[in-house]
Amino acid sequence: MAVAEVHSLGRIPRKRVDKFAERRTELAEAAFVTLAELGYARTSLREIAQNSAFTHGVLHYYFTDKVDLIICCVRLYKARCVTRYDRIIAEAGSYDSLCDGFLDALAATMRDEAQLHRLWYDLRAQALYEPGLRVDILDIDHSLEAMIWRVLDRFAEVTGVATPIPSALAYATFDGLFQQCLLQYLAGDDWAVTRMVANARLTLEALYRGETETRRGS
Amino acid sequence: MAVAEVHSLGRIPRKRVDKFAERRTELAEAAFVTLAELGYARTSLREIAQNSAFTHGVLHYYFTDKVDLIICCVRLYKARCVTRYDRIIAEAGSYDSLCDGFLDALAATMRDEAQLHRLWYDLRAQALYEPGLRVDILDIDHSLEAMIWRVLDRFAEVTGVATPIPSALAYATFDGLFQQCLLQYLAGDDWAVTRMVANARLTLEALYRGETETRRGS
Amino acid sequence: MAVAEVHSLGRIPRKRVDKFAERRTELAEAAFVTLAELGYARTSLREIAQNSAFTHGVLHYYFTDKVDLIICCVRLYKARCVTRYDRIIAEAGSYDSLCDGFLDALAATMRDEAQLHRLWYDLRAQALYEPGLRVDILDIDHSLEAMIWRVLDRFAEVTGVATPIPSALAYATFDGLFQQCLLQYLAGDDWAVTRMVANARLTLEALYRGETETRRGS
Amino acid sequence: MAVAEVHSLGRIPRKRVDKFAERRTELAEAAFVTLAELGYARTSLREIAQNSAFTHGVLHYYFTDKVDLIICCVRLYKARCVTRYDRIIAEAGSYDSLCDGFLDALAATMRDEAQLHRLWYDLRAQALYEPGLRVDILDIDHSLEAMIWRVLDRFAEVTGVATPIPSALAYATFDGLFQQCLLQYLAGDDWAVTRMVANARLTLEALYRGETETRRGS
DNA sequence: CATGAATGAGCCTTCATTCAT
DNA sequence: CATGAATGAAGGCTCATTCAT
């Protein structure tokens, strides 16, 4: 029996469940370090254990298997990312300040948390192969879409222009840009972030300013 | 010495080099089958050998290691995908026929070659971790961007409207949509392709028709 | 000090010893379920705990180790099996009714308690390797031999024919037949029980009727 | 791919198949040592490798899994045991010499190959739980039954008395006796072999001499 | 040129056991 | 008394890689 399954029985006292969940989070947090560095396929539970204060036995005690652990990690990611822009949204009062705030945050995220997002794209790719990951990955994907939509909603509020595209398309665009930038950035392209920001700004202006004049270029 | 390195020495007679390269292509072709089915991490050289007419030893003879083989496979992918829409472009004479042709082809690609593109996204994710893959992946990425741009250029030609966004942004958008759809499609969402097509059409109309009226929805 | 050893010290008040032994029996009873289903080698203490109302810790509290627990289980088995045919013996008054009663019981045992006897043969095989099990297994074996002998003694009484073979040989024969049948029965051979009964009847008739005519067959 | 599966493809040249099978036998032979000493459940592939000249990798190279290896071992056992009494049968010309030859061989087998037979009973017990083992075990069981029957057929020939019981019953009896003796013998009971021989002789006499006078005893 | 036998590091997982509470 | 968290040895198995032929 894996104790990891116990917490779903319902007969276990509240306190224990909490403690159990806490420990899982703690372990997932520790696993994150290695996972972000090596990626899904190259990370072994032993490696995770070695890079943390835990034994590899304890990982198996708290998680039924590797996928269970990874999913738990991914949920952490979700909780972490999903509110990233909310403060900016709340504070900014004009299109310009909102735009600057959002784009600055975008750039900062790329620069400060490239590893974390690299893991996210890795896991989303693995979900294409592992059905067991799909539900959770799709769930997070929707949360991220909602997060982007909250930003755009604020733009709409501030500008008085209803966002003219569905949230899925908006998310696809910003996600596409971010992912494109990430690879270039990791490959050492110093201008990648700048280009991403420029393209994001372009997108926002097309949406809320109706400006569409540009020249071709990447 | 690994014979695999021979072909870059330049002192080997032309004929031998060609034969060597041919053999590599042949092997890579065979590897593709397994790779597309299982993905990067889950594919072993043994598995590739078993699913083909070749022995497991010959793979190591022609490729220095696994990454070498995968890169060779990826180059095949490039050759295969990069001209996909060119015929449509050439044939279509009006905005509507171009639009329909492109969007039909997009949907067909999703439905017929989901596996192949799943592999592409997997490999691009691996490139985030394996520097050895990056150059080739980025190269293909640029080819794909160029491919999309050729499509949009034709739209510009047909409509007389200069494409108002840079190619990188255009690629990011369509790539984002395609990738979003792929996961949903593989997860069994029957409407995913329809939604992707709708969003792609929306994007095209916004670019070349200036129409922006929509309601929110996914 | 393991509390498990306490009950043999003799200085502990009677009441506590009883309670301790009771608890062991209770636990062994619970372990039986899992043990019969999975067999000796495939049963872990965790599994036993999970399939019962007890925690995995308490098993180690009451038993010094796995073998200690299994031996306790085996003792339960003994108590359960050893009187199986006694009622039939007492009730039957003629050779025919005795024969029918015994053979019916034999067949019923095979059909209803195959799992339990499968465990018995498993444990007896383990005793070939684990000296710690031998004493108890041999003890049960003798009890079973005595059980068979009581049956045959009743045959002798009813027919007036002294049983012409030693009890060890009699036990070996019936045990051999039973074991042979068990494997075939579990392998899905529907006629196995019928054949066993036929061979057992043949044996009884040879012993008490002097009939020996048969044709070869299995 | 496990090369172990290759030999069933049919396209592999005769010579290679033979070599492959030879190597399997060689490895199985080596595995036997450890297996006989420790029994099925306690034997690990690593242990087998350590007690032999092979690496544990080579075991996995030639056998698809543990069961495959064990079955191969068991087949060796079969080949080894099944002709054990054939020479005796051929040589003995009278009931007495046949009887002495057979019983001597029985006793010698017990004394010289106790370990080997201990493994047999262990595996047969495991077959009660592992369906994957059943076919092979039943196959061997039938071979052993046939072996016993050949012995009895010779008795019939020599004495002119048709064997009055089916081969299954005969096998069950001798097998029961042998197994009974084996446990006692391994438990240090010095008279166990003597008793087994006495009971076997008794059985033979009952079958071919019609003598049935005995006193109770074990 | 090509083969496939052999290696051994490494992976995920299971488990009996220990021990602080 | 009883719990269950934690440990770490061990197990079956996979795999890239090496190398003799």
Asked whether residue C59 carries a pLDDT value surpassing 70, the answer given is: yes
Name the more confident of D5 and D67: D67
Helix then strand then coil, in percent of chain C rounded to 5, is 75, 0, 25
Q: Quote the tokens at residue C90.
A: 């007492």
Q: How far apart are CA B41 and CA B155, in angstroms?
A: 39
pLDDT of residue A7: 44
Q: Which pLDDT score, from 0 to 100, does residue C132 have?
A: 86
- Residue A203 clears pLDDT 50, i.e. is over it: yes
Mean pLDDT of C107-120: 93
Residue C14, pLDDT score: 63
Mean pLDDT of B161-179: 97
Average pLDDT in the B116-143 region? Answer: 93
The proportion of chain C whose per-residue pLDDT surpasses 70, expressed as a percent, equals 89
**Number of other residues whose CB lies within 10 A of the CB of residue B151:** 24
Domain positions in chain A are 66-208
pLDDT tens-digit map of A150-184: 999 999 999 999 999 999 999 999 999 999 999 99
Cα angle at C36 between C31 and C38, to 5 degrees?
A: 95
Confidence of residue A210 (pLDDT cuts 50, 70, 90): confident
Above pLDDT 90, what percent of chain D? 78
Q: Are B175 and A176 in contact (CB under 8 A)?
A: yes
Chain B / chain D CB contacts < 8 angstroms: 5
In this prediction, residue A100 carries a pLDDT of: 96
- Has residue A121 got a pLDDT over 90? yes
What amino acid is encoded at A181 in this protein? C
For residue B90, is pLDDT > 70?
yes
Query: Does residue B155 surpass a pLDDT of 70?
Result: yes
With CA of A20 and C1' of each nucleotide, the nearest comes out as F5
Looking at residue A117, its pLDDT comes to 93
Do D4 and D63 form a contact (C-beta atoms < 8 A)? yes
The token pair that represents B8 in the structure block? 């870059």
In contact, A193 and A111? CB cutoff 8 Å: yes
Residue closest to C30 by CA, chosen among C54, C12, C8: C54
pLDDT digits (tens, 9 = 90+) for D60-93: 999 999 999 999 998 888 888 888 899 999 999 8
| Nearest CB to C183; choose among D124, D215, D218 | D124
**Length, in residues, of chain D:** 218
Burial grade of A118 (CB within 10 A; 0-12, 13-18, 19 or more): buried
Q: In terms of Cα–Cα distance, which of B131, B207, B133 is closest to B174?
A: B207
**Rounded distance in angstroms from the CA atom of residue D93 to the C1' atom of nucleotide E9:** 62
Residues from D contacting B (CB-CB < 8 Å) are 1
- Cβ-based contacts of B131 with chain A (< 8 Å): 187
Touching chains A and C? (3+ Cβ pairs < 8 A) = yes
Nearest to B176 among A127, A134, A176 (CB): A176
Residues C141/C146/C149/C151 CA torsion (nearest 10 deg): -100
A·B CB contacts under 8 A: 169
> Which of residues 197-216 of D have CB within 7 Å of strand F?
none
pLDDT at C204: 97
From the CA of A149 to the C1' of F16: give the distance in Å.
Answer: 46
Task: Write out pLDDT tens, residues C166-185.
Answer: 999 999 999 999 999 999 99
CB D207 within 8 A of CB C157: no
pTM: 0.83
Q: What is the pLDDT of residues C74-109, one digit of tens each?
A: 888 878 888 889 999 999 889 999 999 999 999 999
Residue range C4-8: mean pLDDT, rounded: 44
* Per-residue pLDDT, B216: 40
Whether nucleic acid strand F comes within 7 Å of the CB of C58, the answer is: yes
Mean pLDDT of the region B112-140: 93
The half-sphere exposure of A59 on its side-chain side, counting CA atoms within 13 A, is: 26
Q: Is C213 left (phi over 0), alpha (psi -120 to 50) or beta?
A: beta
Average pLDDT value over all residues in chain C: 87
The CATH superfamily label for domain A66-208 reads Tetracycline Repressor, domain 2 (1.10.357.10)
Rounded to whole angstroms, the Cα distance separating B94 from B209 reads 13
Q: How far apart are the CA of C151 and the nearest CA of chain D, in angstroms?
A: 14
User: Which tens digits make up the pLDDT trace of C127-169?
Assistant: 999 998 899 899 999 999 999 999 999 999 999 999 999 999 9
Q: pLDDT class for C11, splitting at 50, 70, 90?
A: low
